[in-house]
Amino acid sequence: MGTGLSAATYAMSLPGRSGGLTHAGFYGPLLPDCAAPAAFGVLGRRSAAPLLNTGLFADKVFSATAASSFLAGAIQFGALVIQALYFQLVRGYDVIDTGLAMVGFAVGAAVLPVSGRLTDRFGGGPVSLAGSLMTTVAFIPAAPLPTDAPLLALEACLLLLGIGNALSVLPSSTAAYVTVDPVTRPEPEAHGRLRLAGLDPRTAPQLDLGLLQHPLDVRKMIEAVALGRRLAATAPMRALGLREIAPGPAAASGTELAAYLRAHVKPYPHLCGTAPMGSADDPTAVVDNLGRVHGVPGLRVVDASILPDAPSVATNLTVMMAAELIADRFGHS
């Protein structure tokens, strides 16, 4: 994929130097541009555990949203690269001035969090449509502008283009994600429960993690075991002399694997989210986005307990990032 994209970038830089699209030298770099992604897709279809599951494109919704995300990315590429080249080659700006001249797009793209909230409220379709219309509105007046057009007019177009891009990318990605088979998503479906065991604060609370209490979670684990077995059966793994210890060949059917998993799966000791962050009007929130405990002035909490949801990775890096951010803003709040 990297080879193909590099070749595509190089090919797109040739027409202006080699005499246009009719020059033979333009099409040479396009061969690896087309061949490399095609080979990547073919190998992905043949692999038992592909890095990129190209079979997802059989879903029409996934294909449409993926295409929409690709086009939004292409628009962003055009805005950031071609517009930057315009400022440098046509207007004679240096690198720093070019970066400053692109600030309109950056300001517009900063509405990405708003795009997420709008997607949650209205759905991806209307928000993505609004982004497409905004992009169109940005391009129509920008196309006929002369090369010596006022910078303010260009910044206005870049601002609209940035907003349109932000409104297009996130809804498209969200729409594609929800079409993916839930079994491939890492987040568990079941929810645990934490209760007080009594009035004595020294008594440990009652914690039920709800492990494998949802049938989809059981299905995910069964498929994980099946994947592990397929990998262990490959020639490189067999050459190491590996053998399955648990659950063993006796557990072959889905029912047998489910029974084994329910009896033996243990929790990964990275508890988090017991004092989640959120707004002051959220009854489940304990701290705000800077770790300040609601209703307790001067007290902050910065550890895994403030994560509003369990990350699908080990929590150490997530906590370090949160601590770095909150510590950086400590003197400004």
pLDDT in tens, the chain (333 residues): 455 455 555 555 554 454 445 555 556 666 666 777 677 767 766 665 565 666 667 777 677 777 777 777 776 666 677 778 878 888 888 888 888 888 888 888 888 888 878 887 887 778 878 888 888 877 777 767 777 788 888 888 888 888 888 887 777 676 666 666 666 667 788 888 889 988 898 899 998 888 888 888 898 888 889 888 988 888 888 888 888 888 988 888 888 999 999 998 888 777 888 899 999 899 999 999 899 999 999 999 999 999 988 887 788 889 999 999 898 887 665
How many Å apart are CA 107 and CA 111, to the nearest integer? 8
Helix, coil or strand: residue 206 = strand
CA 223 to chain centre: 23
Q: Are 130 and 111 in contact (CB under 8 A)?
A: no
Q: Are 131 and 165 in contact (CB under 8 A)?
A: yes
Q: Which of 264, 270, 294, 332 is catalytic?
A: 270
Active site residue 23: no
Q: Are 84 and 102 in contact (CB under 8 A)?
A: yes
- DSSP code of 306? G
- DSSP code of 208? E
Q: Are 315 and 307 in contact (CB under 8 A)?
A: yes
Q: Are 19 and 52 in contact (CB under 8 A)?
A: no
How many Å apart are CA 26 and CA 10, to the nearest integer? 9
**Cβ-proximal residues to 294 (8 Å cutoff; 6+ apart), any chain:** 280, 285, 286, 287, 288
Measure CA of the first residue to CA of the last residue in the chain; give whole Å.
Answer: 44
